[in-house]
Structure formats: structure tokens, C-alpha cells
Amino acid sequence: MSGIVALIMGSKSDLKKVVPAEEMLGRMGVKAVTAVISAHRQPEKLREFVESAGEQGVEVFIAAAGKAAHLPGVVASLTTRPVIGLPISSSDLGGLDALLSIVQMPGGIPVATVAIDGAENAALLACSILALKYDDVAEALKVYRKELAEA
């Protein structure tokens, strides 16, 4: 067993930007649970998903959002598990609006943040967190880094 990562996005249109995270998690042997839930349009559904995630074995959240990008912060406000914000370039501002929204969380509610459209790094950061507990994930990360160095 190597942990579970929940990938949440606010819109189906974000899926193509999230797929690289799903693929990287699969490569590392980590199960992903993917959900499309809007923090603005479905706040109760989001609360239920986040609060029940621990029972399903979710240990880390990746929350992808564009524009105002409230999803990662709302997820972080509902859990003490690690949350990684993935800013999506879905507006005229090229994702800078999403990046700034995610990075500027208030004190006490942290969200780790990766680059705009940085889905692979979001997955790798989630794996780094899981590697503290799961030796198979730590080993998969070592192999991946070795392959990067050799390429």
C-alpha cells in the first residue's frame, strides 16, 4: 500500500491540465481519486468529499483551480492533511491570477503551491510527502530521479 492522493478540480475543463498528475501518480504506484467539485457552486459537496476522504485513505490533496482559485484554500480550511495547490492557466492572465490566489493563503491555513500548470510537480510533491511513510513510494522517487539524471 502506498497511500492515496485526492485530485480535485473545480471544472471539467481543468481535467486536461490535471491528467499529467494522474499519470505521474500512477507511475509512482500511488492511487489517485479524482473529483470535479466547485468550491463556489457546490460547497456542501466539497465539504462532504474532503471530510470523508480520510475514511477512504486519502492522505494528500491536490487541488487544481484557475482564475480566482479558491478551491485549494477551501480544501485546506476543511482538513489538516497536506494540500497542494495547482494553479491552472484558464484565463486571460495566463494563470497568474490563480497562482497569486493560491500562494497568498492567510496564516494558519497553508497550501503548498507549484508552478502554473505544474501537474507533474504537484504529483511528485505529493509522492515526496507519502514517501515519509511508504518505502515503495520513496524507492519509486529515487528511481525516477536517477532516470532524470541519466536522460
- pLDDT (tens digit, 9 = 90+) per residue, 43-93? 999 999 999 998 999 999 999 999 889 999 999 999 999 999 999 998 789
Task: Assess whether pLDDT exceeds 70 at residue 1.
Answer: no
Task: Assess whether pLDDT exceeds 80 at residue 145.
Answer: yes
Residue 52 labelled as part of a binding site: no
Task: Assess whether pLDDT exceeds 90 at residue 137.
Answer: yes
Question: Does the domain at residues 4-150 carry the CATH identifier 3.40.50.1970?
Answer: yes
Helix (H) or strand (E) holding 66: strand 58-66
pLDDT value of residue 140: 97
Sequence-separated (6 or more) residues with CB below 8 Å from residue 109: 73, 76, 77
| DSSP secondary structure letters along 87-119 | EE--STTTTHHHHHHHH-PPTTS--EE--TT-H
Residue 47 labelled as part of a binding site: no
Distance between CA atoms of residues 141 and 146, nearest Å: 9
Residue 41 labelled as part of a binding site: yes
Report domain extents, the chain: 4-150
For the segment 114-130, what is each residue's pLDDT rounded down to a tens digit?
A: 999 999 999 999 999 99
pLDDT value of residue 90: 82
